[in-house]
Amino acid sequence: MRKVLFAAALLALCATFAAAKDYSLKSPDGRTVVTVSAGSALSWQVSRDGQTVILPSEMAMVLSDGTVLGKAPRVSSAKTATVDKTIQTPIYHKSEIRDHYNALTLKMSGGFSVEFRAYDSGVAYRFATARKGELTVKDERVNFRFDKDYDTFIPYVNDNRGGERYCYSFESYYTEVPMSKMVDDSLTIVPYIVDLRGKKVAVMEAGAEDYPGMFLKINTADRQSLVSEFAPYPLEYGRVGGYTIPVKRADYIAKTAGTRTFPWRVLAIADRDGDFLENDLAQLLAPECRIADTSWIKPGKTSWDWWSSKHITGVDFRVGTNTETYKYFVDFSAANGLEYILIDAGWSAGSLMQLREGFDLQAIIDYASSKGVGVVLWSHATMTEAEAEKAFPHYAKMGVKGFKVDFFDADDQRINGVMYRLAALAAENHLILDLHGMKAFGIQRPYPNVLNFEGVKGLENARWTAVANNQPVDDMPRYDVTAPFGRMLIGPMDYTPGAMDNATARGYRADGSSPMSMGTRVHQMAMYPVFDAPYQMLADSPSKYMREQECTDFIAKVPTVFDRTVALDCKVGAYVAVAREKDGVWYVGAMTDWEARDIEIDCSFLGAGTWKADIFADGVNADRAAEDYAHTTRTVRSGEKIKVHLAPGGGWAAILTR
């Protein structure tokens, strides 16, 4: 009997393999190979230069009626295509990007297809359905199987809002452990970086719309693969732990149109760590721009009241949430060529349509307009969702230029839809947006008026990070040289840099009313060319910036969008150096973690001729006094290598002009 059963099982297995069909797809440079297998399940595997990126990894979409798209798929057609075109990206760190890929689309019986793309910089796939009426997705199964227990950079979900599993600010430091050491059932956000010991790969998503965002967790069956998890659709909300969160969720993740494409599942591949800084997949795989005329969208820098607690000195009025204070911020922005002021929480009273008593917003707007400065207002996400139909046109008519909308703290299908509706409504009223409590997810291309996102462990954390054994508990400088390769892959990030009070590891202390940063002064200054942020903050007090005017002058000169980006010497989690060009001028920034380093800035990115370099470097005593810096000028030529010493938590920044 055992022989009979074994023979039957063997015949069934052979029949499965015989029925399976493989399809191959290569990147334009031929170095990346995607092999898609359609057998008992639909799977893909990826290699680059012969090195395994992922082993065969299954994909499926489970519908509410029990149908599993991808299970025993029957391929009705396989079509290939090559695309090579240029996309204009004026609100980005490149003015244009090349969309060059090879594609394979497998059309299946059952009314669905799967599209695969192979770029030189990575690979991606997405489901598409062609069904009548509405479609209910119970789950989507995304897997990434690796061939070894690789080291990883894990942005765990922690500090859930009200204890709800899927409500989170999307702000995570990176835990650096082998994949096998991931905590069971703990969710991580994306991008998630895997060190393939020679190359690196970032697991991410792109083009999310009318669908929940993707979380990942460890597959406990083998401990070297990742599986997806999605927030179920919220049905009822309640007040828990000070937050309005879902208290009842559906048994599905999305109800959506039966004919549509779904978000991309992406592997960004880096031959060298700096490749992540030049990777454009998040832009390339996002929906196309939906705003016909984008000429009114104005990137730029802004002064900000919240981080410094409005610590203004030497004035003859009482500082607070009042008209005089914000006129002072306007004067500072105008004097330093900043495009905006941001008025944070406190200007409204219980409703976006109700101003704080005695607060003359129209006077502030009119005064700012006379100085060529725009006004942006903070608002809470829940209130904004409820009142945007009235508030957006009302404040746009008054002359407000945009809103910073805070505390979304979720990316389920409902919240995703809210953000798309707010972005469209803001665009109708010529308002820019800065979205907080949310990571970038692709909306910035269809609605480029969404200039920035939080979803980053930014400078605000320096206000409260605890100290133990004369060291800050949180390692912000290390995060600063990790996030550009991970979090920044998916879009701009509102880190809010620019602290003028700076501290060594031993000198740091938390102070919510008079905060300081970890690391050197030039570490903060280097963030302006390093971090992507079309709407960029100067987080500190105007009084402190005026006290440090030559540092402020440098920061004010750095644009927030660029024509070209060139990654220089980089190592994830250790140091970063990048050069960006705008209108023929180059802006360079370099930062390190708490380890002092000597690096070289290779000036091969420069054009021919002689260039003047205006340089800010860590001072000789910056390891003892973090505010110590040296400001020098010199001439350089293309190909010349500038030797740079970075103090612990240090930085280097330069502007190069012909």
Active site residues: 406, 460
Distance CA 137, CA 119 (A): 29
Q: Tokens 């950079």 belong to which residue?
A: 153
Least Cα distance to 263 among 135, 157, 124 occurs for 124
Query: How is residue 353 written in tokens?
Result: 């349509």
State phi, psi for 199 to the nearest 5 degrees: -130, 165
C-alpha 254, offset from chain centre: 24
Task: Answer whether 67's CB lies under 8 Å from 88's CB.
Answer: no
Distance CA 609, CA 613 (A): 13
Q: Tokens 């290598």 belong to which residue?
A: 641
Distance CA 520, CA 594 (A): 10
Task: Answer whether 380's CB lies under 8 Å from 406's CB.
Answer: yes
Q: Tokens 């500190």 belong to which residue?
A: 540
Distance CA 204, CA 183 (A): 20
Task: Answer whether 253's CB lies under 8 Å from 138's CB.
Answer: yes
Cα angle 447, 451, 452; round to 5: 120
Residue by residue, DSSP assigns 150-218 as: -EEEE-B--S-GGG-TT------PPEEEEGGGSPTT--B-S-EEEE-SSSEEEEEEE---SSPPEEEEE
Distance CA 466, CA 475 (A): 11
* Axis crossing angle, helix 323-335 with helix 361-370, rounded to the nearest 10: 20
Edge-to-edge strands of the sheet including 629-637?
564-567, 575-582, 585-592, 651-657, 610-618, 629-637
Local structure of 10: helix, strand or coil: helix
* Residues 6 or more apart whose Cβ sits within 8 Å of residue 13: none
Distances (CA, A) of 94 to 403, 420, 491, 583, 638: 25, 24, 13, 11, 21
Residue by residue, DSSP assigns 294-362 as: -TT---EEEEESTTTTT---S-SS--SSSHHHHHHHHHHHHHTT--EEEE-TTSBSSSTTSBPTT--HH
State phi, psi for 550 to the nearest 5 degrees: -70, -30
